[in-house]
């Protein structure tokens, strides 16, 4: 059986810079900064103040809703500031700045001896996942406790671990599979127990034969029912809807979620973090990431504390003289940055530094159709780009713009160098802003009607 999906592209994977570099511990900074926004959903609310002493693993930001996730200090020390600081998404966000005392003193009750997971209830497992602040570490950063709590009536029969890492340059997941396979397997088993999934899969692209071998051996030792699937190399193989199609041959409906077809997908890094959180009560305060690219002197895979300044890691790896572009994430879906005054957050999978000339001004769409062929969501990217260039939001919404996964395949193949993904990001933002205004108006109208009804009753 050929495991694949429609569309996709084949960019040079550029994994050679770092794929053979074992994970190293990154330098521990003297000052860390913990943003309250490190996940999809409501930002956290700070629970510490300037001058407070904090321990390693202590919660410094509490979840502000169900779709939210707490954040923790990655060092012990003293809170130097609680204020607005630069963030990966461009807007300043509330952050807690902590001066490291170098003592590595853990908060009470955390980083404990291994628990007997087999005797733990599902509710206790979910509680540990929530308290540890786990989110999807493949880049989406969706709160994990929400993902493993499907609504009543949504039966999950299949759980897929994403070890594809199809983004060019990035090798953090590859190294994690080679060096921590047993923890990943245990994390998968915990997640499957929570949601009741009987079928367990790990998807890995064929350009990682060593990872396929290691993960198969690890699965065979613990749970032979786990199927490690070797997938053809094609981008965006790691997108969850494409992974579900390739492995299960199920199509997630337009506007739907993986749970609508009985499946859930999580990154291998998320599975390993689940293992550490549930077995040892370790919050998500560190992650493996890749520092790589033509502009890096010594590309590395690093285990870095959340809150570590990006500049600290770049200084550690070294920059070449002609380095002129920094991207957080990979070249296809990562975000280019104008400053290094940023920190590692839960979703930071890589720091990519490139050389070379910037892309010139884009031209008009020439109707070549390459983006249609590349789109794995069966959309018409060129039409969407033209509509949005002319700010025709309604027509773009009717053309299913919200189904776009922003993988960048269309932009990659466009001979006119049109910034199709950027147009689509703009369009989605406009749609969400309008939807928010409509909800606000509806709520205001409802409140006004309720008030008028109360006044009528009072008058009677």
Has residue 393 been placed in a domain? yes
Rounded CA gap, 24 and 290, in Å?
Answer: 10
pLDDT score at 454: 87
Domain limit, last residue, from 261, 280, 299: 280
pLDDT score at 362: 87
Tens of pLDDT, residue by residue, the chain (460 residues)? 668 899 999 999 999 999 999 999 999 999 999 999 999 889 999 999 999 999 999 999 999 989 999 999 999 999 999 999 999 888 899 999 999 999 999 999 999 999 999 899 999 999 999 999 999 998 889 999 999 999 998 999 999 999 999 999 999 999 999 999 999 999 999 999 999 999 999 999 999 999 999 999 999 999 999 999 999 999 999 999 999 999 999 999 998 999 999 999 999 999 999 999 999 999 999 999 999 999 999 999 999 999 999 999 999 999 999 999 999 999 999 999 989 999 999 999 999 999 977 667 788 999 999 999 999 999 999 999 999 999 999 999 999 999 999 999 999 999 999 999 999 999 999 998 999 899 999 999 998 888 888 888 888 7
Residues 134 and 259 reside in one and the same domain: yes
How many domains does the chain contain in total? 2
Has residue 9 been placed in a domain? no
Residues 238 and 373 reside in one and the same domain: no
Rounded CA gap, 72 and 234, in Å?
Answer: 36
pLDDT score at 3: 81
Has residue 8 been placed in a domain? no
Residues 272 and 137 reside in one and the same domain: yes
CATH number at residue 196: 3.40.50.11540
Residues 144 and 247 reside in one and the same domain: yes
pLDDT score at 450: 87
Residues 376 and 243 reside in one and the same domain: no
Has residue 239 been placed in a domain? yes
Has residue 87 been placed in a domain? no
pLDDT score at 2: 61
pLDDT score at 414: 95
CATH number at residue 410: 1.10.1060
Domain limit, last residue, from 280, 315, 350: 280
Residues 135 and 273 reside in one and the same domain: yes
Rounded CA gap, 175 and 156, in Å?
Answer: 29
pLDDT score at 1: 60
Has residue 335 been placed in a domain? no
Has residue 7 been placed in a domain? no
pLDDT score at 451: 87
Tell me the whole-structure pTM to 2 decimals.
0.92
Residue-number span of the structural domain to which 429 is assigned: 361-460
Has residue 47 been placed in a domain? no
Instruction: List the one residue out of 153, 150, 164 whose CA is nearest residue 245.
Output: 164
Domain limit, last residue, from 240, 255, 280: 280
């Amino acid at each position: 059986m050929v495991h694949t999906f429609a569309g996709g592209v084949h960019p040079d994977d550029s994994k050679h810079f770092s794929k053979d570099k074992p994970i190293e511990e990154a330098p521990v900074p003297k000052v860390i900064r913990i943003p309250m926004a490190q996940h999809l959903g409501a930002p956290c609310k700070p629970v510490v103040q300037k001058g407070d002493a904090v321990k390693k693993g202590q919660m410094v930001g509490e979840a502000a809703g169900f779709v939210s996730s707490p954040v923790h200090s990655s060092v012990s020390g003293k809170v130097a500031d609680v204020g607005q600081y630069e963030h990966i998404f461009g807007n300043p966000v509330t952050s807690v700045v902590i001066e490291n005392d170098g003592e590595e003193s853990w908060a009470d009750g955390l980083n404990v001896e291994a628990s007997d997971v087999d005797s733990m209830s599902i509710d206790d497992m979910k509680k540990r996942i929530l308290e540890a602040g786990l989110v999807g570490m493949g880049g989406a950063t969706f709160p994990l406790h929400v993902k493993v709590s499907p609504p009543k009536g949504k039966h999950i029969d299949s759980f897929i671990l994403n070890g594809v890492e199809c983004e060019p340059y990035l090798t953090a997941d590859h190294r994690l599979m080679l060096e921590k396979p047993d923890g990943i397997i245990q994390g998968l088993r915990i997640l499957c127990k929570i949601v009741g999934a009987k079928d367990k899969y790990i998807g890995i692209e064929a350009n990682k034969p060593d990872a396929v071998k290691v993960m198969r051996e690890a699965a065979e030792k613990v749970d032979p029912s786990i199927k490690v699937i070797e997938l053809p190399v094609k981008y965006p193989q790691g997108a969850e809807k494409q992974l579900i199609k390739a492995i299960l041959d199920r199509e997630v409906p337009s506007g739907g979620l993986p749970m609508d077809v009985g499946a859930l997908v999580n990154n291998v890094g998320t599975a390993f973090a689940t293992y550490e959180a549930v077995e040892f009560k370790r919050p998500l305060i560190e992650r493996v990431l890749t520092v790589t690219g033509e502009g890096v002197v010594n590309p590395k895979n690093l285990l870095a504390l959340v809150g570590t300044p990006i500049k600290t890691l770049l200084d550690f790896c070294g920059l070449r003289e002609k380095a002129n572009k920094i991207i957080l994430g990979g070249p296809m879906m990562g975000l280019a940055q104008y400053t290094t005054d940023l920190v590692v957050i839960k979703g930071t999978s890589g720091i990519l530094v490139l050389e070379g000339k910037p892309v010139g001004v884009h031209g008009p769409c020439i109707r070549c159709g390459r983006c249609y062929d590349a789109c794995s969501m069966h959309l018409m990217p060129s039409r969407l780009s033209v509509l949005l260039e002319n700010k025709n939001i309604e027509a773009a919404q009717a053309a299913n713009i919200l189904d776009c996964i922003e993988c960048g395949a269309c932009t990659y193949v466009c001979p006119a160098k049109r910034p199709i993904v950027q147009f689509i990001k703009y369009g989605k933002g406009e749609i969400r802003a309008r939807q928010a205004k409509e909800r606000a108006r509806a709520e205001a109208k409802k409140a006004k009607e309720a008030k008028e009804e109360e006044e009528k009753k009072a008058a009677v």
